[in-house]
Structure 1
Amino acid sequence: MNVFERFGLWSEENAARLDQVLASLVALVVCPFVLVTHQNMEWFFGLDISGLWSAVFAALLIFPLVWRRTQPVRSAVLVYSAALVHMLIGPSAIMPADLMVLVALYSVTIYGPRWASRVALISSFAGTALFGYLVAREAGGKLAPALFITFTLGLLFLTVWAFANMRRARIWSMQTLRDKNRMLEIEREQQVQLGAAAERARIAREMHDIVAHSLSVMIAQADGGRYAAKASPEFAEKALSTIADTGRAALADMRRLLGVLRNDVSEEDIDTLAPQPASGDIESLVDQVRSSGVRVSLVRMGTPRALPPGAGLTLYRICQESLTNILKHAGPDPTVTIVLAWGKSSLRLEVEDDGRGAASAAASDGQGMGLLGMKERAALFGGNVKAGPKPGGGYRVELELPLPEVPDEEPPAPV
């Protein structure tokens, strides 16, 4: 930004005070000058020996420019009115203050409405013609001086009006660019905030799935080990081993999840940033839950195939969350059945139990993120989740994910 652009911005921000100062300075210079140079002028009401009336009209032409940017129409009306009265009752001569009419035309064209700009230009032409007529009358009917003055003043008003329109267009263009840049900055900030909110929600879902499942398994193992510590030390030792393994796995998952947020990951930390679990890890998840003493059956149907990026993690997390809810709400000794069915155009997951999960969930505080997180994960890939109690007792979670269709294999050509 150069010096002129900075001055333009500063003058726009301090328009009222700047116009007040400039009008006062011009008045302090012009009014005393007119008072001295326009003595003994012939007015409509007689001879002005002191030049006071010329100074008064000079002030009336200058001081309305105080509002030339804040109230351009009002300022132009006052200046044009003072100039008209001065022409009608004053001498047929141009004094320095009459140039304020040009300033008023320039200001109302830039800062006023379009109609005011056109009216001001037409009024300027009318005033020029009137002044030419007065000059011709004073010259005894000679038209040459009057026509020259009329043409010159009219061309001057037209030039000022044209330059003012160019300035108006530039100001409008600069204002449009500033507004556009401001809107882009606001939109960029909103995009950053939305991205941060989405990332926080994703991390919250991942943390919920990791922590809730691992803690549920550890609590179940701890309770079982506490009751079996005296009767079966071997079972208690196995429960403690399962708690330790589960804690280590949860800690590794948390390091892997939070490690991607770091910028200073070294080569030694690459192993901690292993890929997230996918559909192939469901069997390990089932084995982990079985080790806690829950009877879990895994039924596979169809031919497994590669899932789109992220869909495998979604399948794993929904199955993990369903098993976590069973450990928390199904009650003692539930039987769990997991059905994983691969179709041509969709993948279906069913996790059901015969416990008392529905009654237990109804008595909870309702602040969990589990079911909401499952629905959000499925919606990202165009799937849907249904969860609710089964007729006769128990609870069922159903997930259906759309998959790219597998084309039918063409039969071999006859030999």
Structure 2
Amino acid sequence: MLFDLGIALGCALVPAMTLEASAEPSTLAWLAVYLVLCLATVVRRRWPAVLGAAVVVGAPVHLLMPTLLTYLLPGVCLYAVARYGRSRLVLALLSVAIVVRLAAARAVLFESDAVSGMLWHIPGEALFLAAPVVLGLYTRARVMVLENLRDKAERLEREQHLMAWRARMEERTRIAREMHDVVAHRVSLMVIHAGAIEVTEGVPEQATRSARLVGEIGRQAVEELREVLAVLRPDKEQAEEAAPRSPQPTLDDLSVLVEQSRTAGMNVDVTFSGARRPLDPGCERTAYRLVQEALTNIHKHAGEGATARVHVRYEPDTLHVAVENDAPTGPAYAPLPSGGHGLTGLRERVTVLGGVFDAGPRADGGFRVSAALPTKETTP
């Protein structure tokens, strides 16, 4: 807008500064018309053809003849028509009309024979006005080329993102398939062998209970593995087919989890304090996973006969969960494979909910895992 105002004021001030003080009233009237047309160049981008037609009809070009300032306003209008106009026919008609208008005005003022003088001046006028027309057409073509290149670059970028997304979907599908084939197959074999031990005659009762527990845990692991891998499947039908059919675990399921640990030989004490109430599913599920991961780590590192304490405390706006164990008193179990991401995953779960997570060794050689989770009550 500032540039357009500068163009309009420049076109208007040049003839005003060259006007003599003793100008006649008719000259002042023509100058007023010229100034209006100059100020109208502000809208040349929106209505270039209308402005060009107004210049052809009413521009008093004779005021600036024979100087080069004569071509200032017509040149600006023709450049606008060539740059912003939609019709090449309109550009050609306006260009011819302005050239004829300037040649006729020059012939009337400076030639004795108006007709022959006009024909004589037409090539010169066309030469002067060809520059803004060519410049406008070039600028328009250049802008169109740049826009096409920009659109092409954006389209290629979208196609590249789409190809990358497809590659990720294919990789996720392959990972899900391989994890299901490998992990589920191995765990299924464990469940089958545990079931075989359970029905074998002559097996001690303790071994039978352990085999039954291994089978239950294995079946739960396979089911949870399928639920997790369903997220990696891009196919909607596969995702719906693999969607969980049972509710996610909550704090009400802690008794089952603790009983499994006790059956495996761990001494587990569970205490609840505060007014128990139903909480939002995310908080309940995170608290359950924290206890599950902490008991699993105790199984791995504290050895046989380890003692663990689980404390769940309800407060008006916070749920505190703590799991700790004493220093190991016996040899640990055979080393189990571990990715080392269990506590890191718990920290991320708690942080996402806006809670505080803490895990580390105690002074007496034990270990403690705790979290404070913000709570939101839900309707039972």
TM-score by length of 2: 0.52
Report the equivalent of 2:145: 171
Structure-2 residue corresponding to 1:247: 218
Q: How far does the alpha carbon of each residue in 1:70-129 deviate from its partner, in whole angstroms, 9 at most, with x for none?
A: xxxxxxxxxxxxxxxxxxxxxxxxxxxxxxxxxxxxxxx9xxxxxxxxxxxxxxxxxxxx
Distance of 1:152 and 1:324 partners within structure 2: 91
Corresponding residue SS for 1:331: coil
Deviation for aligned residue 1:143: 8.1
CA distance in 2, matches of 1:286, 1:143: 111
3-state SS in 1 of match to 2:151: helix
Q: Distance in 2 between matches of 1:346 and 1:244?
A: 36
Q: Does 1:328 align with 2:297?
A: no
Match of 2:271 in 1: 299
Give the CA deviation at 1:368. 1.5
Give the conservation status (yes or no) of the 8 Å contact 1:344–1:405: no
Which secondary structure state, in structure 1, belongs to the residue aligned with residue 346 of structure 2?
Answer: helix
For the structure 1 residues 356 and 185, does the alpha-carbon distance in structure 2 shift closer, same or farther, using more than 3 Å as the test?
Answer: farther
Letter in 2 for 1:274: S
SS of equivalent residue, structure 1 residue 313: helix
Structure 1 residues 198 and 330, CA gap change in structure 2 (3 angstroms): farther
1:273 counterpart SS class? coil
From 258, 282, 290, the counterpart of 1:310:
282
Contact 2:312 2:319 in 1 (8 A): yes
1:276 to 248, 251, 273: 248
- Residue 160 and residue 270 in structure 1: after superposition, are their counterparts in 2 closer, same or farther (change >3 A)? closer
Q: CA deviation at 1:190?
A: 7.0
Compute the displacement of 1:384 (Å): 2.9
Distance 1:386 1:189, change over 3 A: farther
Gaps (5+ residues) in structure 1?
A: 1-108, 110-141, 407-415
Q: Deviations over 1:43-88 (max 9, x none)?
A: xxxxxxxxxxxxxxxxxxxxxxxxxxxxxxxxxxxxxxxxxxxxxx
Please name the residue that 2:229 is paired with: 258
Contact in 2 for aligned 1:256/1:273 (Cα 8 Å): no
**Is the CA contact 1:356–1:394 (under 8 Å) kept in the aligned structure 2?**
yes
CA distance in structure 1 between the partners assigned to 2:368 and 2:173 by the alignment: 30
**CA distance change for structure 1 residues 314 and 199 in 2, over 3 Å: closer, same or farther?**
farther
Q: Tell me the distance in 1 between the aligned counterparts of 2:129 and 2:153.
A: 36
CA 1:391/1:161 → structure 2, altered by over 3 Å: closer, same or farther?
same
- The 3 A distance-change label for structure 1 pair 198 and 298 is farther
Cα shift at 1:395: 0.5
What CA deviation, in whole Å up to 9, does each residue of 1:297-341 have, x standing for no partner? 111112233333433222221211100000000123111100111
* Map of 1:153 onto structure 2: 127
Q: For 2:362 and 2:171, how far apart are their aligned partners in 1?
A: 36
Q: Which residue type is aligned with residue 179 of structure 1? A: A
Shift of 1:188: 6.2
Q: How far apart, in 2, do the equivalents of 1:279 and 1:315 lie?
A: 7
Task: Calculate percent identity across the aligned residue pairs.
Answer: 28
SS at match of 1:351: strand
Amino acid at match of 2:257: L
* Counterpart amino acid of residue 280 in structure 1: D
> Are the equivalent residues in 1 in contact too, given 2:250–2:285 (CA < 8 A)?
yes
Residue 256 of structure 1 contacts residue 274 of structure 1 at CA under 8 Å; is this kept in 2?
no
Count of residue pairs brought into register by the alignment: 246
- Distance between the aligned counterparts of 1:378 and 1:199, measured in 2? 28
Q: Map 1:207-246 onto structure 2 (within 5 A).
A: 233-246=204-217
Q: Residues 338-377 of structure 1 correspond to what in structure 2 (within 5 A)?
A: 338-356=310-328, 367-377=339-349
- Residue 348 of structure 1 aligns to a residue in which SS? strand
What is the alpha-carbon distance in structure 2 between the residues aligned to residue 281 and residue 339 of structure 1?
Answer: 15
Cα distance, 1:356 vs structure 2: 3.2
User: 2: distance between equivalents of 1:255 and 1:308?
Assistant: 24
Report the residue type matching 2:226 in the other structure. R
Q: Matched residues in 2 for 1:382 and 1:167: separation?
A: 56
Instruction: Give runs of aligned pairs for residues 10-409 of structure 1, distance below 5 A.
Output: 147-185=121-159, 233-259=204-230, 261=233, 263-264=236-237, 273-356=245-328, 367-404=339-376
Query: What is the root-mean-square deviation of aligned Cα atoms in Å?
Result: 4.6
Shift of 1:380: 1.8
